[in-house]
Amino acid sequence: MKRVVIGAATLAGAGVAMARWLASRHRPPTPVKDPQEHTRWLGVTINRQPEDISRQGRLPQPLAGLDVEVRMNKAPGDRGTELYARPREPMPIGAAAVMARLRGDDPRQMVRKALREAKCIIETGELLEPDRPFATTRPTIPGRVLDVAIGRAPGEGRL
């Protein structure tokens, strides 16, 4: 019985986490829906000088492969360079936006992922690969929910 309760609580927790993740633009501590949600620049700060990031005017990979607007400026102090990007294509809204995020083809997910990857490549020389998954000994429902969250994680977050 205890295991059933714990399992149900875990599943509920995973569900709540997923719902919060999907509804992240509406949650405290910023309860006001961001009126600029679809036009905001997404940014990373890279621990390099601007000339190390855009060599001869070329965008860093994998950002160069996306249809994005890009800008950058020197970061304050010794923090390097702020690199910003946002998709040129129109953003899905409402239910279409939720479905796009679940499918993993929301344009902003792709930009976030590309910015993180560009930062890692520029700073370390390579993109860190996660350990490869191997067959789990027991597929579980919370595990499947988690798989969706893990799969979308590189493109999600507060970037």
Partner 1 sequence: MKALCWQGVNELSVERVPDPEILNAQDAIVRVIATTTCGSDLHLLGGYIPAMRAGDVIGHEFLGEVVEVGPEVRRHKVGDRVVVCSIIGCGRCWQCQHDMWSLCENSNPKSGLTDELWGGSTAGIFGYSHAMGGFRGSHAEYARVPFVDYGAFSVPDGVDDISAMFTSDSAPTGWMGADLGGVKPGDVVAVWGCGAVGQMAARAAMLLGAERVIAIDRFPERLAMTSRHVGAEVIDYTTTDVTAELRERTGGRGPDVCIEAVGMEAHSPGVEYRFEKAKQQLRIELDRPFAVREAIFACRKGGSVFILGVFAGAVDKFPLGAMMNKGLTVRGAQQHGHRYIPMLLDRVARGELVTSYLATHEMSLDDAPLGYDLFKNKKDGCVRAVFRPGM
Pick 57 or 158: Cβ nearer partner 1 = 158
Report, in Å, the least distance between residue 103 CB and partner 1: 16
Q: For residue 26, what are the contacts with CB-CB under 8 A and spacing of at least 6?
A: 33
Q: Provide DSSP, 34-55.
A: -TTTTTPPEEEEESS-HHHHSG
Report, in Å, the least distance between residue 153 CB and partner 1: 4
Which single residue is written with the structure tokens 């809204």? 93
Continuous segment of H or E residues that includes residue 145 = helix 141-152
Q: Is 33 in the site for partner 1 (CB under 8 A)?
A: no
User: Structure tokens of 25?
Assistant: 């633009």
Q: Is 149 in the site for partner 1 (CB under 8 A)?
A: yes
Q: Is 12 in the site for partner 1 (CB under 8 A)?
A: yes
Distance CA 101, CA 66 (A): 17
Q: Taking CB under 8 A as the rule, which mask of x and - marks residues 90-129 in contact with partner 1?
A: ----------------------x---x--xx--xxxxxxx
Q: For residue 34, what are the contacts with CB-CB under 8 A and spacing of at least 6?
A: 25, 40
Pick 62 or 157: Cβ nearer partner 1 = 157
Q: Is 14 in the site for partner 1 (CB under 8 A)?
A: yes
Burial (CB count within 10 angstroms: exposed 0-12, middle 13-18, buried 19+), residue 92: middle
Residue type, 32: V
Choose which of 1, 3, 76, 90 interacts with partner 1 (CB under 8 A): 3
User: Structure tokens of 54?
Assistant: 């855009």
Report, in Å, the least distance between residue 25 CB and partner 1: 11
- Name the site residues for partner 1 (rule: CB under 8 A): 3, 5-7, 9-10, 12-14, 16-17, 20-21, 24, 45, 47, 78-80, 112, 116, 119-120, 123-140, 142-143, 146-147, 149-150, 152-159
